[in-house]
Structure 1
Amino acid sequence: MQNSLFQFVRQSLGWLLLVVFSILLLSSTGAQLHSRLLLMGDWLYGDYYMLRADLPAPSCQREFDIEKRLDELESAASADAGLDALFDDDASFDREASRRSLEKAQQLCQDKYDLYEESSSQITTSVKMFRSIEQAVEFFSLIVFDYQKFLIVLVLFLGAICATLSQHHISFRPIKTRFEHYCVQSLETLALLGLYIPSLTFFAQSKNAITSPLSVIFAWTVVGAASVLTFISLVRLLKPSDTLQSDNRSWFAKSISMLLCIPIYIYMLLIAGFYFLVIEKHVTGISIYAGQLFEQAEMFLQIGLYIWLGMLLKRSRLGQQLFNVIRPWGFSPEIVAFIAVVMMAVPTAYTGASGIIIIAMGAIVYTELCHSGARRSLALAATAMTGSAGVVLRPCLIIVVIAALNKDVVTQDLYSSGLRVFGLSMALLLLILLMTSKDKFTLKPWSQVKSPFVKALQDLILPVMIFIIMTIAYDFILDAQLDEISAPIILPVIMLLILYFERRKGRSAPECEGSEIITAEPLPKLIHAATMEAALHIGALLMLMTFSFALGGVIERTEVVALLPSVFDSVWVCMAMLVVILVLIGMVMDPFGAVVLVSGSLASLAYTNGIAPLHFWMVTLVAFELGYLTPPVALNHLLTRQVIGEKEAVLAEQEAMQASGWWYKHERILLPMTVKAITLLLTAFVPLFVKTL
């Protein structure tokens, strides 16, 4: 009964989130459409800006007897002449000056009437219909823009509720025993209660300063969402699942296992709560710092759209079609792994944040690598690397955030340098894969490759044509290029069209291990299923990002960075110190929260010690990539484990333990870390060496 109720709530929230996503797509498209409508109106009707509203009728009198008015003015002046004479010897009435003034006023009034009559004559039925459409589009776009903060709260907490109901928050391993359930749910309830109290206190303290109705709605939504999350966690605590096992291990073993089951965001929330509530006694501290996410509402709404895009992509045949192009050549597993990482770098860049592409394509990438004969450890390593390989490429959202927060760098320079760093990283990956390969590099003869290869290319014609046509259409009709600004709006529309035409042709998404894709779903049901799954990942990822800001606040207020010297004796020592700190930050924080923290603390330290801003931020991005892949957290590995399933992850661990050689036993961790560590060292220190020459 409880699970049925939770499932019904999740489905309802999925529909609500789908409505929110639809509003976001329509409003963003509407904003672009509105600017084009203004240009079209100007082209159709001339000075359309004058026709957008009915001019008020002039209230002045355009025809009057000037001589009569002059006589009236002169009579009034004569009545006041006695008093004026006390102060001004030349207080006589100037009839000619008054005449010129009246004639000028009459002409101005006539001009107003002429403009009014001309404008009224041009406002035809056609103009009224056109401007009604244009103003309706403008009104809708502005309303959504005004409610952006409210929408990000809605998206965040709809996702958080779904993730909490399904126990889908990111952790090192899932809950399996009743002991783990009671301990983890107790900590989660305590942590969420520690979120609810600061939210309520913050609202109570600031309600007198709230004047906007939107601010009131926003504040109550945050408080309401925090209370709902606390209530759900409490219900989960009191009503455990019947599938949980008993645990007869020692108390120490059970405790260690339990610690691995605690969601990472709970660790962040407990640390922030302890610091702000106990040490500083700053009750609203968590709300203030976590609320920084809402100040960047548009960016995090884009992340939600990107995750939704990923879930739609997961339900298409596109991933399988791309691998079908590679499969006929008979590459060794290592080469297939290299191609997969390079190939996934592009969607990683477009999905804006590390890890989203793992959620979307991880199951397919892992399965295809296993089918090519790859070791499970190699498949896991490559799948984890796909989640961050493209964060330095255009049009990745992280680089946009860096440029927005730091005026010393621009996106163009960051993207150009990022492309070179990406090339270096991929060259190192290929070299290490070839060095550790157990198979020789081979290619099948063209006669065997030709037929399946050509067929695979033919299957790609449909999605490629849809992509090209829609990109051109957006550019021509709405003047919207596929860049970092428009990509989160254009790409979901393209993906929906691809899914529509796939279903029209009777195609369906592949069934793959670790995936819950239903192959014969009608399009509306498929979109709803994608939205429900997106809600889980949005809740898990955005909760992690939200409390990364709170954890960043703890680091900032403890002034840990201030313990470092402001000036180092050597730029080499400074860079070495920064590399270590940046990797540590990347290990425990999401990229967006980490960028905010680094911008306000370490960036100025680097500049002061002679490290160029562009160089520093390239090092930062590569250090974050290494952090995502480095234990104990290793977010990309956690996401990979989540998408392939716990059963397959256990099989991979068992297979690795049976492998010969230390490298192959730990290849899942060592391969990504080695590639990124060497890339980081070269990126950090080679420019310094060149500078000293």
Structure 2
Amino acid sequence: MTVFLLIVLVVVLLALRQNVVLILAVVAAAVHTFFVSRSAIEFLIQDIWFSVDRETLLAIPMFILAGAVMTRGSIARRIIDLVIALTRPVRGGLGLAGILSCGAFAAISGSSVVTMLAVGAIMYPALLSEGYDKKVALGSMTAGGTLGIIIPPSIPLLLYGMSTDTSVVDLFVAGVGPGLLLIVVMAAYVLWKSRHLSPRQLDLAEVRGALRRGGWAIMMPVILLGGIYSGRFTPTEAAAVSLLYALIVELFIHREMNVRDYGTVALATVIMSGIITPIFAFASSLNNVIAIEGYPQALTAFVKQYIHSGWGMMLTINIILLFVGCIMESFSAIVIFAPLFLPLVTGYGFDPVHFGIVMIVNLEIGYLTPPVGLNIIVGSVAFKEPFRLMVSAVIPYIALMMGALAVISAVPQISLWLVRVLH
């Protein structure tokens, strides 16, 4: 009866078109006040305070701001110029450069939409001017942008780590193998689709010039990821270093950004953080109640009556998460479902780090699936193309990513080998 009333409450709020933050706040307050014994609304306030009183949470706005600074400045442009210069001799090299540029920018931005906009704004017109099929160009930029949430540093991986008390550093390290697999899969498809295009001769002068202009930009992922993987930086310190480095390079070295530009991107970051933080706070309170009441253990016992295989369980959760990715944005999905599903998968013997990667890849596909697919919605506006064309363009990439998801789910070593090496 309690669960039924909560479902009715959520359905009513959704019918009234309320946002996720308000729905979570009302449900959390109702749970503490009416549905859980030995609880009260005061406990909700305490949970919210303890949820946001974490040093790691500071990394989220700093990574967002660093990515916005690099997009507003010229770091993205300089990285792309270097990749284009190096891939010219390859047949379909410009398409390959687009995917590789998304991968490189993902290693410093941590965001899917930021990666797509930063690289796509430059590469999409260039691909069309070089004779690439419009669907191939659109799909590669839209799908390539999703690499921003799997290649470390990743804001969704950071949220997963905080929501489940899993090592964020291990999650960042684990994202390398799956990220490279997705880059290879996407790049192979783009090269195959553009195999009819003629390659160009390698211009060593162009490469040297791109290296000279992009030297500071290239050092960004080296410093950031090297600091994280070597253990010199915590995720929060890495976020602070990336922001400081981006500001110094853009304001004082490249000088292609001014203080007024910084004010604009800082305001946008505040708005974004104002969306993420309340979602995390209210969802964390709900997850505390769920854990205290023993629902994860009850769910595990119930599911084991019907699903006896660990791989059957993983397949079931993958299907659920693919559906969740279609109807929820990734931040809400992570803080709500990760703590609920983690005891279930660990009960079948799966590693929490491996499951974190599987969950993020599922939600990565969700960026390309209607009705909530952020990349196709934002891309439709940014690239000035019809929504229907955007959906059509990403269908092959969704299929490729689902194939990669199956491999990542079935072969945990793809995610965990580097973690074990560094340990």
Query: TM-score scaled to structure 1, two decimals?
Result: 0.47
User: Judging changes above 3 Å, is the alpha-carbon distance between structure 1 residues 410 and 652 closer, same or farther for their aligned structure 2 residues?
Assistant: same
Greater mean alpha carbon deviation, residues 596-605 or residues 487-496: 596-605
Contact 1:345 1:389 in 2 (8 A): yes
Deviations 1:575-609 (A, max 9, x none): 21111122233444454554443443211211222
Deviations 1:409-429 (A, max 9, x none): 655654454322222222221
2:423 is the alignment partner of 1:671: no
Query: Which residue matches 1:444?
Result: 200
Query: TM-score scaled to structure 2, two decimals?
Result: 0.72
Q: Deviation at 1:626?
A: 1.9
Q: Which amino acid aligns with 1:340?
A: G
Query: Which residue matches 1:200?
Result: none
2:406 is the alignment partner of 1:681: yes
Query: Which residue matches 2:184?
Result: 427
2:324 is the alignment partner of 1:566: no
How many angstroms apart in 2 are the aligned matches of 1:603 and 1:555?
A: 13
2:253 is the alignment partner of 1:499: no
How many angstroms apart in 1 are the aligned matches of 2:112 and 2:47?
A: 20
Contact 1:377 1:668 in 2 (8 A): yes
How many angstroms apart in 1 are the aligned matches of 2:44 and 2:114?
A: 26
SS of equivalent residue, structure 1 residue 388: helix
> Which one of 339, 344, 362 corresponds to residue 600 of structure 1?
339
Q: Deviation at 1:443?
A: 2.0
Contact 1:321 1:459 in 2 (8 A): yes
How many angstroms apart in 2 are the aligned matches of 1:467 and 1:599?
A: 28
Give unpaired runs (5+ residues) of structure 2: 1-9, 35-39, 414-423
SS of equivalent residue, structure 1 residue 308: helix
How many angstroms apart in 1 are the aligned matches of 2:91 and 2:184?
A: 17
Q: Which amino acid aligns with 2:69?
A: L
Q: Deviation at 1:633?
A: 1.0
Q: Which amino acid aligns with 1:345?
A: G
Deviations 1:272-318 (A, max 9, x none): 46756789975959965993795255333322122221221122222
2:59 is the alignment partner of 1:321: no
User: Judging changes above 3 Å, is the alpha-carbon distance between structure 1 residues 673 and 288 closer, same or farther for their aligned structure 2 residues?
Assistant: farther
Deviations 1:328-363 (A, max 9, x none): 555789643443333333443443454443455553
Q: Which amino acid aligns with 1:610?
A: G
Contact 2:83 2:100 in 1 (8 A): no
How many angstroms apart in 2 are the aligned matches of 1:544 and 1:307?
A: 16
Residues 456-535 of structure 1: matches in 2 within 5 Å?
456-464=210-218, 481=232, 484-502=235-253, 508=256, 523-535=258-270
How many angstroms apart in 2 are the aligned matches of 1:432 and 1:285?
A: 54
Contact 2:59 2:235 in 1 (8 A): no
SS of equivalent residue, structure 1 residue 605: helix
User: Judging changes above 3 Å, is the alpha-carbon distance between structure 1 residues 398 and 349 closer, same or farther for their aligned structure 2 residues?
Assistant: farther
Q: Deviation at 1:496?
A: 1.7
Query: Which residue matches 1:240?
Result: none
How many angstroms apart in 2 are the aligned matches of 1:601 and 1:467?
A: 33
Residues 89-108 of structure 1: matches in 2 within 5 Å?
none
Q: Deviation at 1:403?
A: 4.9
Contact 1:544 1:590 in 2 (8 A): no
User: Judging changes above 3 Å, is the alpha-carbon distance between structure 1 residues 489 and 391 closer, same or farther for their aligned structure 2 residues?
Assistant: same
User: Judging changes above 3 Å, is the alpha-carbon distance between structure 1 residues 585 and 297 closer, same or farther for their aligned structure 2 residues?
Assistant: farther
Q: Which amino acid aligns with 2:303?
A: P
Contact 2:71 2:114 in 1 (8 A): no
SS of equivalent residue, structure 1 residue 291: helix
Contact 2:91 2:199 in 1 (8 A): no
How many angstroms apart in 1 are the aligned matches of 2:173 and 2:199?
A: 33
Query: Which residue matches 2:418?
Result: none
How many angstroms apart in 2 are the aligned matches of 1:333 and 1:671?
A: 20
> Which one of 142, 160, 177 corresponds to residue 384 of structure 1?
142
Structure with more of its chain in helix, by fraction: 2
How many angstroms apart in 1 are the aligned matches of 2:78 and 2:94?
A: 14
User: Judging changes above 3 Å, is the alpha-carbon distance between structure 1 residues 459 and 327 closer, same or farther for their aligned structure 2 residues?
Assistant: same
User: Judging changes above 3 Å, is the alpha-carbon distance between structure 1 residues 309 and 370 closer, same or farther for their aligned structure 2 residues?
Assistant: farther
How many angstroms apart in 2 are the aligned matches of 1:341 and 1:653?
A: 22
Deviations 1:492-515 (A, max 9, x none): 2211221233466xxx4xxxxxxx
User: Judging changes above 3 Å, is the alpha-carbon distance between structure 1 residues 307 and 572 closer, same or farther for their aligned structure 2 residues?
Assistant: closer
SS of equivalent residue, structure 1 residue 486: helix
User: Judging changes above 3 Å, is the alpha-carbon distance between structure 1 residues 553 and 433 closer, same or farther for their aligned structure 2 residues?
Assistant: farther
Deviations 1:31-75 (A, max 9, x none): xxxxxxxxxxxxxxxxxxxxxxxxxxxxxxxxxxxxxxxxxxxxx
Q: Which amino acid aligns with 1:524?
A: V
Query: Which residue matches 1:345?
Result: 103
Q: Deviation at 1:677?
A: 0.7
Query: Which residue matches 1:357?
Result: 115
Q: Deviation at 1:652?
A: 4.4
How many angstroms apart in 2 are the aligned matches of 1:361 and 1:285?
A: 46
User: Judging changes above 3 Å, is the alpha-carbon distance between structure 1 residues 290 and 324 closer, same or farther for their aligned structure 2 residues?
Assistant: farther
Q: Please tell me whether Structure 1 or Structure 2 has the larger radius of gyration of its CA atoms.
A: 1
Residues 280-299 of structure 1: matches in 2 within 5 Å?
282=34, 284=41, 291=48, 294-295=51-52, 297-299=54-56
Q: Deviation at 1:670?
A: 0.7
How many angstroms apart in 2 are the aligned matches of 1:403 and 1:277?
A: 25
> Which one of 342, 365, 371 corresponds to residue 626 of structure 1?
365
Q: Which amino acid aligns with 2:304?
A: S
User: Judging changes above 3 Å, is the alpha-carbon distance between structure 1 residues 484 and 385 closer, same or farther for their aligned structure 2 residues?
Assistant: farther
Query: Which residue matches 1:617?
Result: 356
SS of equivalent residue, structure 1 residue 389: helix
Q: Deviation at 1:541?
A: 5.2
Contact 2:112 2:145 in 1 (8 A): yes
How many residues get paired?
388
Q: RMSD value over aligned CA atoms?
A: 4.5
Contact 2:103 2:183 in 1 (8 A): no
Query: Identity over aligned residues, as a percent?
Result: 18
How many angstroms apart in 1 are the aligned matches of 2:332 and 2:49?
A: 9
Query: Which residue matches 2:3?
Result: none
Q: Deviation at 1:611?
A: 3.1
Deviations 1:363-412 (A, max 9, x none): 344444444444444344333334431434444354455455657x6556
Residues 215-364 of structure 1: matches in 2 within 5 Å?
266-269=18-21, 271-272=23-24, 275=27, 282=34, 284=41, 291=48, 294-295=51-52, 297-328=54-85, 330=88, 335-358=93-116, 361-364=119-122
